[in-house]
Amino acid sequence: MGKKGYNWKSRAVTNVNVDNSTTKEIVLDIQHRAEDYDSCNALVLPSQKRKTKNIDKKVATTRLLSKKRRKQLEKVVERKKKKLQRATLLEDLAKVQATPAELKQYVSLTSLQNKGLKRHFRELETPVEKLKRKADDEEESDSTKITINSIKMSKKKRLAILNNIKQDEAKLDPNIVGFESSGNSDEDDSNNEEENEEHVPDNTASNVSNEKTEINEKEGEKNLTKDVNKETTSTKLNNKRESKQSVEIRQQNVPKIHTPAVFIPVNRKSEIQAARLKLPVVAEEQVIVETINENPIVIITGETGSGKTTQVPQFLYEAGYAQNKLIGITEPRRVAAMSMSKRVAEELNLSEKEVSYLIRFEGNVTEETKIKFMTDGVLLKEVQSDFLLTKYSVIILDEAHERSVYTDILIGLLSRIVPLRNKRGNPLKLIIMSATLSVEEFVKNTRLFKIKPPIIEVKARQFPVKIHFNRTTSKDYVNEALQKAIKIHTRLPEGGILIFLTGQQEVHTVVRKLRKSFPLKKNKQPQIKVVKDSEKNEASEALDKEHSEKDDSEDDSDDFDAEEALRRNKRRQKKQIILPTINLDDYSISPTDDTHEDLINVQDDEDNWDEDEDEDEDVIDFKGLTNAQPLWVLPLYSLLSGHKQARVFEPPPEGCRLCVVSTNVAETSLTIPNIRYVVDSGRCKTRLYDKVTGVSTYHIGYASKAAATQRAGRAGRTRPGHCYRLYSSAVYDNDFEEYSQSEIQRKPVDDLLLQMKAMNIDKVVNFPFPTPPDTVQLKSAEKRLTILEALQPPSKKEEEIYCTKVTPLGRSIAAFPVSPRYGKMLALSYQHNLSKYTICMVAALSVQEVLIKTLDMEGPTKSKWLQKRRYWAGTGNSLLLGDLMVLLRAIGTAEYAGSKGRLLPFCEENGLRHKAVIEIRKLRQQLTNEINLNIPNLNLIIDPKMPLPTDMQAKLLRQIVLAGMADQVAKKVLPDEIKEDQDKAKWKHAYRTPQMEEPVFMHSSCSLRKTSPEWVVYQEIYETNKMYMRGITAIEPEWLPKFVPMLCRLSEPLVDPPPRYNPKTGKIICRVSGTFGKAGWALPLMDIEHPLTVDGVKWFAYFFLEGQICPKLKRFVPSLLTTPGSITKSWAKLIPRTQVIVQTLQSQGVLSKDKLIEIWNSDKKFLLAAYQKWLPESAHAEAAQLWPPL
């Protein structure tokens, strides 16, 4: 047993009032014993206990109401309110209820609909007297029985018979309905109504009916006789109708409240309406709108071309979601936001004021805007200022399958915003739209959505596509794709060909070979469409000229020479099977054979041919190619200029077959018309980042199954098609992943982490990501941001929970739409008038492939471009600025050429990518506007005549670059540093980085390759056959302690030479040694500002007493009681005056003249008393008179 508690109630001392009234009534009779009276027993106790009364005031203790008890009481109050509301509701309904006179005019249809037409017609032939007699007989038999049980519903049956008499009399009444054929649903509804009536107790009618129509059921049963008249019957029928109405009203109170449907009329043009009706998503409009109305979050999936992006906002507009608030649609690309807003405005027949777009620093949003298209970054900025997005009624996240970082953040944020808005009675709808989406990641992620959102799948306009696998998977997929395209073109019916490859170089290789194999010749007769000779010659000349120009601009080397192939064919003539003449008209449009049989028609010996086409890939009859139809071959990749990309949507010339050689940009982003055949290499090029080192490499691997399905779907847009996969089904099943990895798991999350920290989401690891990043990524990103001083250094407790907070510098960096490294460069650039140069550099660094590579080039063009780039590098500090100086001058010169209208010719002459230059100019405009917004009175503009930076400005730009690339420092490996056991050839001209053990190198195109400085910073490291640095700038090691203090380990200030005072800066300078990074690279001896330590304060006091800081005090130096040098000695503590002046300076943190002047502005007598202790009393007054000695 446990220890008993203290019984405070029983042990308490209370004030008790005793009732002694009973003691006065005691009668003492002691006369007969007077001699024996005992004086000790003078008091006699009463026979009963005396009454007591506690006179202490009771202290009423109020118990705290528990949550459970409070909820119980709240439910009681809520039930009482509902009961009160129900009573008033029934009273109000009774006021508007129809009178008995009105009810007599209605005819009940329940019996008619329940018994059916056959029974109705049969009863029409039955005499009315027979029916009355039947009713009278039942009443006589019932009168002798006991009181009828109402549960058996006998009374209802009798009333129904009497009601049928009235219906039979009015058999020709036009109000009787039911002579048409009715469906099963009507019968089911009537049966359900009858069942509901049977389960309703009789006393429910008394709640609604008034006093005039109330009838006692028992009395009605007893008085039911043969003389029952129609009035009594009608009264009972009215009572039943009232009972039924009351039940239906109650049932309507129980379910959820349905808001009335809203429809906003739209006047569309007839041709637009006709085009809309062909879209698959329009057929699902009712399902989509009803699902959105009933659910806060909805996922819509559908193939590209189904019309989701343009039609779903129109559905919501017509449903009234834009009446009081905005419909917001996010797009991952700026071009898509602009084009979709124009298209939706055109289809709704509205102005751009009502259907608008907003991208960063550009848009046409007004107060009249109803539908707003924007990029996902713009909406993320709005969340920072208005977390609940109160201006919006619906948010649509489009293209969610691309899994951009901003889209993933928005999905996580909106999964929390939507429930908050619903709780506050201001609902927000979230719609996630995607072409191919890993739905399981959203539906099964309970952290993201606690309630599984409904999924609507929209079927696209897709014709059947036959999939053909290879038996084996060839490693040389480029040549395989080329062979397959040639066979499709020469042996299969007409239709466009789409080839999927991995990169730009592969695309150009295949394009070049196909153009030379199937050229457009002047005398070639078109096979598809017959045209006149004059038109044919003009078209052929123009096309030949265009193709010849393209061939000249590309690499002249061609290993697919037709003459060499003819010579090989002669040598193999004996082994080669002679093919019969093929007539494509003999083939069916939908082949049912395997890949080999679709391409080649073998009549006799099929066993001599391999279905995998491994043996005959190099044995192609090029004699037949000369008679083949011309092929209109076009490249397509993301870096291609806009007007060249648009050519794939134009119809090919007459007599030509279209062939598009593309990267994965044609999977979902673009829909090319008239494609019938797809050649899928099954590969894709992805950029992989090392989570720790940040090294990037392009890896060519297998695509996902979802991507393969998307590629195959390109062939079935206009008619049935075929997809030829250059890999086996076993590889597809075993090596292909279901979905591609999301972007948030493939790249560094520095900008993501900083953006979320700026939104006050400190514990990013707890954020509900659709696909959370790896903890290694978060830890590496937090470390890099701490080095950039964007985050506060974590304490030991915070190192594992990722809850560091953002610094003021970090918030400034997060305001720029660029990487945090470049954001820090912009934040520091306003000093020394360097903003315009930094903006240009950052914009150029943020765009990939600005300068066209010259590796595969030969001839005068390559030497001309290289010579131009060496000239742009300059000399002195401009040369040491490195690759960034080349970009700076290239963009500045291109801007000047653009102001003269010669941008495109300039880019072609100097090896610049025209599309990249245009993107850089847009980004420069964005960054300029952002800086003008944050720094008033700066008034930056994009000057086409921007002067070159001076030598000093170039040096300062190098320091800014170091501040941004703080952790990306590389040091040259000197010959004496190579160990004996290491490969000297491997480390020749190599650099080391703190994160990696492998050497890194400068590329041959780097402007600093000949200079080869010892210390450099780089933009990134990418891996090919070696590790190469990109975007290199030379730095000085003396700058590292100032701009990268967290990675430097400095020694204590050296005694020899001693610290000195710098009159220009007003600070103490000392000399130190140190190391940099984890590898401990030795730094040279350098002069830095003395750190704020006790020794630093002593040296400041020494120079103050010497009169070097304040020259007015030099007059008192000869009269000082102690020499100033004693203050820096080890035995200085023995002299009290030295401790007084050191402690006074240390208490205010004074280590510079500026800090001392700042304190003197607020306290004129600061340091006077401590200084007077060093003077004789005769000099005190003089020192006090000139204090402060400025």
Q: Do domains 270-457 and 465-519+627-735 have the same CATH topology?
A: yes
The domain made up of 465-519+627-735 is a member of CATH 3.40.640.10: no
Identity of the residue numbered 703: A
pLDDT category, 291, cuts 50, 70, 90?
very high
Rounded to 10°, the helix 835-846/820-828 angle is 170
**What does the block give as tokens for 836?**
């315009």
Q: How far is CA 332 from CA 21, 174, 323, 618, in A?
A: 98, 64, 26, 44
pLDDT of residue 732: 93
In the chain, where are the structural domains located?
A: 270-457, 465-519+627-735, 816-961, 1093-1189
Rounded to 10°, the helix 750-758/405-423 angle is 30
pLDDT at 232 over 90: no
One DSSP character per residue, 755-787 reads: HHHHTT---GGGS--SSPPPHHHHHHHHHHHHH
Distance of alpha carbon 556 from alpha carbon 858, whole angstroms: 9
Where do we find the tokens 């000249």?
Answer: 552
pLDDT of residue 196: 39
DSSP-derived 3-state class of residue 406:
helix
pLDDT at 347 over 80: yes
pLDDT of residue 159: 62
Where do we find the tokens 């005031």?
Answer: 57
Handedness of CA 566, 572, 577, 578 (dihedral sign): positive
pLDDT of residue 614: 38
DSSP-derived 3-state class of residue 373:
strand
pLDDT at 339 over 80: yes
Dump pLDDT digits (tens) for 714-726.
Answer: 888 788 999 999 9
**Residues paired with residue 395 on neighbouring β-strands, in sequence order:** 328, 430
pLDDT of residue 172: 44
Reference 96, options 259, 228, 210, 238; nearest CA is 210
Cis peptide bond prior to 949, omega within 30° of 0: no
Q: 568-603 b/e with 16+ CB inside 10 Å = b?
A: ebeeeeeeeeeeeeeeeeeeeeebeeebbebbbbee
Distance of alpha carbon 724 from alpha carbon 468, whole angstroms: 5
The domain made up of 270-457 is a member of CATH 3.10.20.340: no
| Percent of the chain as helix, strand, coil, to the nearest 5 | 45, 10, 40
pLDDT category, 472, cuts 50, 70, 90?
very high
In this prediction, residues 129-143 reach a mean pLDDT of 50
In this prediction, residues 31-51 reach a mean pLDDT of 63
pLDDT of residue 208: 33
CB 358 within 8 A of CB 365: yes
pLDDT of residue 508: 92
Distance of alpha carbon 358 from alpha carbon 370, whole angstroms: 13
Dump pLDDT digits (tens) for 549-581.
Answer: 333 333 333 334 444 444 544 444 434 433 333
Distance of alpha carbon 597 from alpha carbon 610, whole angstroms: 10
Q: If you count them, how many residues does the chain have? A: 1190
pLDDT category, 780, cuts 50, 70, 90?
confident
**What does the block give as tokens for 237?**
């029928």
pLDDT of residue 73: 92
Identity of the residue numbered 479: N
pLDDT of residue 525: 39
pLDDT at 729 over 90: yes
DSSP-derived 3-state class of residue 684:
strand
CB 397 within 8 A of CB 367: no
CB 449 within 8 A of CB 443: yes
Is residue 57 exposed (0-12), middle (13-18) or buried (19+ Cβ within 10 Å)? exposed
Distance of alpha carbon 617 from alpha carbon 619, whole angstroms: 6
DSSP-derived 3-state class of residue 16:
strand
Side-chain half-sphere exposure of 379, counting CA atoms within 13 A: 34
In this prediction, residues 141-168 reach a mean pLDDT of 52
DSSP-derived 3-state class of residue 1071:
strand
pLDDT of residue 414: 93
Dump pLDDT digits (tens) for 1033-1082.
Answer: 999 998 998 898 888 888 888 888 889 998 888 899 999 998 998 888 88
pLDDT of residue 437: 58
As a whole number of Å, the CA-based R_g of the chain is 46
User: Which of 141-155, 636-650, 696-710 is predicted with the least confidence, judged by mean pLDDT?
Assistant: 141-155
pLDDT at 242 over 60: no
pLDDT at 1024 over 90: no
pLDDT of residue 574: 39
Reference 652, options 741, 543, 560; nearest CA is 543
pLDDT at 680 over 50: yes
Dump pLDDT digits (tens) for 1108-1164.
Answer: 888 888 888 888 888 888 888 888 888 888 889 899 998 888 889 989 999 998 888
Identity of the residue numbered 647: R
Where do we find the tokens 């990169």?
Answer: 503
Q: How far is CA 887 from CA 881, 1016, 1035, in A?
A: 10, 17, 18
DSSP E strands in 665-746: the ranges are: 675-680, 683-689, 696-702, 721-725
User: 783 or 168, which is more confident?
Assistant: 783
Reference 105, options 198, 30, 206, 173; nearest CA is 173
In this prediction, residues 334-357 reach a mean pLDDT of 90
Handedness of CA 617, 621, 622, 626 (dihedral sign): negative
Is residue 945 exposed (0-12), middle (13-18) or buried (19+ Cβ within 10 Å)? exposed
Dump pLDDT digits (tens) for 938-958.
Answer: 788 888 888 999 999 999 999
The two most distant CA atoms of the chain are separated, in Å, by 170
pLDDT of residue 669: 59
3-state SS of 496-526 is EEEEECCCHHHHHHHHHHHHHHCCCCCCCCC
Reference 499, options 637, 700, 645, 352; nearest CA is 637
CB 167 within 8 A of CB 159: no
pLDDT of residue 316: 95
Reference 182, options 113, 79, 230, 246; nearest CA is 113
DSSP E strands in 93-141: the ranges are: none
pLDDT of residue 113: 54
Dump pLDDT digits (tens) for 593-636.
Answer: 333 333 333 233 333 333 333 333 343 444 445 557 889 999 99
**Residues paired with residue 1033 on neighbouring β-strands, in sequence order:** 1017
CB 388 within 8 A of CB 417: yes
User: 384 or 795, which is more confident?
Assistant: 384
Where do we find the tokens 């027993």?
Answer: 41
pLDDT of residue 92: 84
CA 189 vs. chain centroid, Å, equals: 48
Identity of the residue numbered 191: N
Cis peptide bond prior to 1057, omega within 30° of 0: yes
Reference 732, options 485, 472, 501; nearest CA is 472
Where do we find the tokens 């943190």?
Answer: 1149
Side-chain half-sphere exposure of 285, counting CA atoms within 13 A: 18
pLDDT at 909 over 80: yes
pLDDT of residue 831: 83
State how beta strands 696-702 and 1081-1089 pair. unpaired
pLDDT of residue 503: 87
Highest mean pLDDT among 8-22, 142-156, 380-394, 740-754: 380-394
The DSSP 8-state label assigned to residue 667 in this structure reads T
pLDDT category, 116, cuts 50, 70, 90?
low
CB 698 within 8 A of CB 731: no
User: Which of 172-176, 272-276, 318-322, 1081-1085 is predicted with the least confidence, judged by mean pLDDT?
Assistant: 172-176
Distance of alpha carbon 1034 from alpha carbon 1011, whole angstroms: 10
DSSP-derived 3-state class of residue 326:
strand
Distance of alpha carbon 1146 from alpha carbon 1125, whole angstroms: 18
pLDDT of residue 236: 39
pTM: 0.62
20 phi/psi in degrees, rounded to 5: -100, 15
Dump pLDDT digits (tens) for 517-558.
Answer: 898 765 443 333 333 333 334 333 333 333 333 333 333 333
Q: How far apart are the first and last CA of the chain?
A: 83
